[in-house]
Amino acid sequence: MSFNDKVVIVTGGSSGIGAAIAIEFAAAGAKVCFTGRDQKKLDSVAKECKNSLPLIADVTVENDLKKVVEETVKHFGKLDILINNAGIGLPANILSENAMEVFDTIMNTNLRSTVYLTHLAAPHIIKTKGNIVNISSICGLTVIAQNTFAYNTSKAAIDHFTRSVAAELASSGVRVNSVNPGPVMTEALEKTGEKTMEFLTQMTALKRISESKEVADLVLFLASEKAKGITGSILVTDNGALVNPNGN
């Protein structure tokens, strides 16, 4: 797949899935703006991207998101593809004293930022007849663990936001889809320890955890002309976790 002359924004691009997506787009010829909050990590990813614009940005700050779109269009002249990837997960039970604090933090980071950046980017993407890919999770489709109600809710909301905006933008020639990964081998996952990683491995039918590049490959497919008939879809890449509910 070639993305020569295509301009892409990737949020949360300084590590994990987002970094893999930025690197893969750059390798395919795209001009990539990717965001993060750690300059050293951004610089590290930029070394692997030929034509990139790394930007420090907090996706919960509206002015930062405005800057991302404005700087991208100013630097590259247009915008073709938006990848809403930035997200966090924090534990909380609905009975926890900090339940609403955690809920608001997660919803602002995972959902509101996706909605607002899409709102800002859509007029530019309409001009180029581009597309949007939202990074969701199988946690938006099922409950894997306790104390994750806020994260689960945010991802379920992203899925339905994807469908809704796909319907709204179809007449403008813009496609919108979600990618819903299961467990993915990232720096954050590695820090959870061997016990958690073994649990997640056994949770899947294929008894494996995906690499970030696998998710990136699916994102690039959805953003390419090969997926020109796909919009409003929720694509799962979970090594069969959803069809292996008992972890057998």
What whole-number distance in Å separates Cα of residue 167 and Cα of residue 178? 14
Helices (H) and strands (E) in the chain, counts: 9, 9
What whole-number distance in Å separates Cα of residue 78 and Cα of residue 66? 15
| DSSP code at position 219 | H
What whole-number distance in Å separates Cα of residue 115 and Cα of residue 165? 10
What six digits make up the tokens of 77? 């002249």
| Of the candidates 173, 183, 179, the residue with the CA atom closest to the CA atom of residue 203 | 183
> DSSP letters of 162-177?
HHHHHHHHGGGT-EEE
What number of residues does the chain have?
248
Say which of 151, 180, 227, 241 is annotated catalytic. 151
116 among known catalytic residues: no
| Residues involved in catalysis | 151
